[in-house]
Structure 1
Amino acid sequence: MPVVLLVVALVVVVLVVRATAVAGRGLRAPRPASRPRPADPVRPVAPDDDPEFLRELARRVRRDDSPA
């Protein structure tokens, strides 16, 4: 007899969960359509990606290599 009660309780729980899920679907407000975000501008991530840094580095190397 206890096994039958356990099975009945399990079936009741499953039915309640399903009924709640079905009823909850109609209560939610529809999500507004999201616009795609504009792409972020590409910027240097590391110093060796930065053209200005590379120009400055090349200028320093030329200056150090020049005969004194």
Structure 2
Amino acid sequence: MLRFLLFVALFAVAVYIVVRLAEQRGGRRPLPRRRGPASPPPRVMGPDDDDDFLRDLDRKRREPEDPDST
């Protein structure tokens, strides 16, 4: 068990050294950006999704307009 822990520790040190050297030499390159729309296209909004439409519909239902008052 002690050999296994020693192996893991040496492996971790070796990986650390390799990563440090790669960072110091500028081995990190920026990832390429994907071309595409920055935001999804706007969704088509139906009347049942429009708060103003629903509010106006509720108002008309509560206070019906009198067609003879024009």
TM-score when scaled to structure 1?
A: 0.37
TM-score when scaled to structure 2?
A: 0.36
